[in-house]
Chains A and B, each alone.
Chain A
Amino acid sequence: MNLASLLSKDRIILSLKPGKKEKVIEDLVYAIKEGTDAELIVSTLLKREELGSTGIGKGIAIPHCRSLAVDKLEIAVGRTTKPMKFNAIDKKPVSLIFLIVAPPQDPGNQYLITLGKIVQIAKVLTKKKLISKPNTPDEFITLINQVEKDLKKRN
Chain B
Amino acid sequence: MSSEIVEMHLKLLFDLDNLLNDIDEPKYKKIGFKVEQEEKQSLIRTRNALLKKLPRDMADVYERLKERYQRAIAPVDKGFCFGCFQRLPTELLTQTKGMITCPNCGRILYWRKK
Contact = CB atoms under 8 A, between A and B. Distances in A.
A51 B23 CA distance: 10
A52 B33 contact: yes
Nearest to A118: B31
B1 interface: no
Contacts of A119: 31-32
Contacts of B14: 68, 104
A112 B15 contact: no
Interface in B4-46: 4, 8, 11-12, 14-16, 18-19, 22-23, 25, 27-28, 30-36, 39-40, 42-43, 46
B11 A69 contact: yes
Max count, chain A CB within 10 A of own CB: residue among B4, B22, B28, B39: B22
Interface residues of B, number: 34
B12 A116 contact: no
B113 A66 contact: no
A43 B43 contact: no
Interface stretch (B55-63, B69-77, B86-94): B69-77
Contacts of B73: 68, 104
Task: Point out which of A35, A66, A109 has the most chain B C-beta atoms below 10 A from its C-beta.
Answer: A66
Contacts of B19: 44, 47-48, 51, 65-66
Given A51-B40, A52-B33, A104 B113 contact: no
Which of B11, B35, B113 has most chain A Cβ within 10 Å?
A: B11
B80 interface: no
Contacts of B75: 68, 71, 103-104
Given A35-B113, A52-B33, A68-B15, 9 more contacts: A37-B113, A40-B12, A43-B15, A44-B12, A47-B43, A52-B34, A65-B18, A71-B77, A105-B71
Interface of A: 35-37, 39-40, 43-44, 47-48, 50-52, 54, 56, 65-69, 71, 103-105, 109, 111-112, 115-116, 119
Interface of B: 4, 8, 11-12, 14-16, 18-19, 22-23, 25, 27-28, 30-36, 39-40, 42-43, 46, 71, 73, 75, 77, 82, 110, 112-113
